[in-house]
Amino acid sequence: MTPDKRITLVGGVMVPAKIKDQRSAELISKACRENSGCMMRARGVNRKEPSDLKYVMVGIGGGLGSILRFWLGTYIGSKMGTRFPYGTFVINVTGSFLIGLVFALLTVRTHWSVNWRYLIPIGFIGGYTTFSSFEFETMRTLQDGQIGIGLLYVVASVIVGLIAVWGGMIAGRAIV
C-alpha cells in the first residue's frame, strides 16, 4: 500500500487510484516504464524530470575524459613531435568515432538508463574531445606562417572526423 491513498502501484509505477479500469492502468504503467518511469497526475502523464544526478554523471565523465585527453595528447606529442598537432588530431578522430559508436548503441539499447547518455557522450567524450584546442592550434599554426600545415590540419580533422563518426555508427549498428 502506498502512503498516498490517491495513488496505486501498477507494475511498479504509481498510477492515480481514480483509474478504476485495470487495462487502462496497465497501459499507463507500461508507457511509464518504457519512458524511464513517470508519476501520474489527474490531468495526465508527466515524465519524471531527470534528477541532479545528471550533473554528477556529466562531471565524472568529463573529468575522466579530460584526464585521458591530457595524458594521450602528451604521450602522442612526446612520440611524434609537435610540428603537426598529432595528439589533438588523434583525440578528435577517436572522439568522433566514439560518439558515433556510443550514440548508435544508446539509441538501440533503449532500456539503458538516461544517465549513460550524460556520462559517456556528454561527459566523457565531451571532456575527451578537444575542439577548442583544435581551433587554438590551427590559429597558432596559421600565425606562425605555416598556412599549408594549418589548412591540412583543418581539412584532415573535419573529413577524417566525419568518416570516424560514420565508422562508429556502422560499428555500433553491427554490434547490436
**Terminal-residue alpha carbon distance, the chain:** 40
Give residue for cell 572526423. Answer: 161
pTM of the model: 0.61
The answer to whether 134 touches 88, Cβ cutoff 8 Å, is yes
Tens of pLDDT, residues 101-157 = 988 888 776 677 888 889 998 899 999 998 877 888 899 899 999 999 999 999 999
The span from the CA of 115 to the CA of 127, in Å, is 16
pLDDT recorded at residue 176:
82
Q: What is the pLDDT of residues 5-37, one digit of tens each?
A: 444 444 444 445 555 555 555 555 555 555 444
Looking at per-residue confidence, does 81 or 47 come out higher? 81
Domain boundaries, the chain: 7-47, 53-175
CB distance 123 to 61 below 8 Å: yes
pLDDT of residue 50: 55
Q: What is the pLDDT of residues 57-112, one digit of tens each?
A: 999 999 999 999 999 999 999 999 988 999 999 999 999 999 889 888 887 766 77
